[in-house]
Amino acid sequence: MKVVILVTHLLGTGHLARALTLARAFSMAGHEATVLSGGMPAQQLDSAGIRLVQLPPLQSDGVNFTRLLDADGGEAREDLMQRRATRLRDTLQSIAPDVVITELFPFGRRVLRTEFLGAVETAISLPRRPLICASVRDILAPPSKPAKAAMTEDTITRFYDAVLVHSDADVTPLEVSWPVTKTLAPYLHYTGFVAPPPAPPHPDGAGTGEVLVSAGGGNVGSNVFDAALQAAQQDSGRRWRLLIGGNTAADRIVALRQDAPPNAMLEPARPDFRQMLHHAAVSVSMAGYNTALDLLQTQTPAVLVPFDAGDETEQSLRAAALERLPGIEVLTSAALNGQMLLERVQQAISAPQRAARATGLDGAQNSVRIVQELANKHHAG
């Protein structure tokens, strides 16, 4: 099959990372996978073996997801949106995919509703209508108004064939964060959690004995990095390594180094982060979907500082679930400072070791199987 995944990450890079993991699973199963990415380029993510088509990029104005900015931080103009729409249409018509998957939309990215619907309508108008699926993580941003949930449900019933829910229904059913009606329920297909294969230990042992501080691949986490530098000043016997993400990483590193103690190392986000986790004394991070799965695949102690700016609740819900596991501590952003972070780090390190999780993380492979079955029925009909 020819599979196209449409994704636009606006703040962090988790949505793109998950789309690439899905695409890689399709590719490994012998299908032709293309990811159409509309967010900022993220060179630290592995796209080897996948056709990655970069649209003229967009980003959000911080946590204000209703205001779209261009790559230079200026207001996104209509000509930029038109160029994106043209590239989407031309690519879909050129590939003529058997399957189109929209990541998050229509459960989110409502600010890009016109763009996503335009792409879906282009797909539907192809000589051979593809199977059309939505792809969502375990926990969504709950709709602020019933009308938003109703609009999403209407879009699903009008245009979509299935919703791939990348979770375990027994762990975090979609109902935890989204109203699932009798109309929506038949569209849902639980895949399990989408994680890449476990990373092996780092060949050079990078990160051994360190506090490994990360905040994903976006321009976020300043509060985490500031607190980490304060904690490092009080913890001179251990090295703290801060991995800074986003397209402004170089400038942020320069600014942070002004207050960095000698035992703090600052560098851009690294593609070998998952390998480094095996060797770290403890991980300090936010509680995004991909980071949570990275931690579950290792035995590394962790301190989670869930991203809760604006009206964000997703990471707080996920962190509360993970906190029940040994060696995982949670610190809210309101309580975050150097002293509190150091205390949580020491508590995580001294906790009993948990077992690395090896089951329930094959959601990418299950997604391929589910989509294959649905596509066979769809095209046979």
Q: What is the pLDDT of residues 182-237, one digit of tens each?
A: 999 999 999 999 998 899 999 999 999 999 999 987 778 899 999 999 999 999 99
**For residues 360-371, average pLDDT:** 96
pLDDT of residue 189: 98
Residues 4-33: tens digit of each pLDDT: 999 999 988 899 999 999 999 999 999 999
Domain positions in the chain: 2-194+361-380, 211-350
Whole-structure pTM value: 0.87
Contact 273, 295 (CB under 8 A): no
Residue 47 predicted with pLDDT over 90: no
- φ, ψ of residue 93 in degrees (nearest 5): -70, -35
The single residue listed with the structure tokens 């170089």 is 250
Cα distance between residue 123 and residue 116, in whole Å: 11
Is CATH 3.40.50.2000 the right assignment for the domain spanning 2-194+361-380? yes
Q: Quick one: which of 13, 60, 69 has its CA closest to 41?
A: 13
Topology agreement, domain 2-194+361-380 and domain 211-350: yes
Is residue 283's pLDDT more than 90? yes
What is the Cα 184 distance to its own chain's centre?
Answer: 24
| Distances from the Cα of 89 to the Cα of 36, 78, 119, 207, 336, angstroms | 11, 16, 6, 44, 46
Spatial contact of 37 and 52, defined as CB atoms under 8 Å apart: yes
pLDDT digit string, tens, across residues 63-122? 888 899 999 999 999 999 999 999 999 999 999 999 999 999 999 999 999 999 999 999
Beta-ladder partners of 247: none
Q: 3-class secondary structure for the chain?
A: CEEEEEECCCCCCHHHHHHHHHHHHHHHCCCEEEEEECCCCCCCCCCCCCEEEECCCCEEECCEEEEEECCCCCECCHHHHHHHHHHHHHHHHHHCCCEEEEECCCCCCHHHHHHHHHHHHHHHCCCCCCEEEEEECCCCCCCCCHHHHHHHHHHHHHHCCEEEECCCCCCCCHHHCCCCCCCCHHHEEECCCECCCCCCCCCCCCCCCCEEEEECECCCCHHHHHHHHHHHHHCCCCCEEEEECCCCHHHHHHHHHCCCCCCEEEEECCCCHHHHHCCCCEEEECCCHHHHHHHHCCCCCEEECCCCCCCCCHHHHHHHHHCCCCCEEECCHHHCCHHHHHHHHHHHHHCCCCCCCCCCCEHHHHHHHHHHHHHHHHHHC
Task: Look at residue 240 in the predicted model and tell me its pLDDT.
Answer: 98
Summarize the confidence of residues 319-330 as an average pLDDT.
93
Lowest-pLDDT choice from 151-155, 301-305, 352-356:
352-356
Which tokens is 226 given?
């500031």
- CATH number for domain 211-350, candidates 3.40.50.10860, 3.30.420.40, 3.40.50.2000, 2.40.340.10: 3.40.50.2000
- The pLDDT value recorded for residue 127 is 96
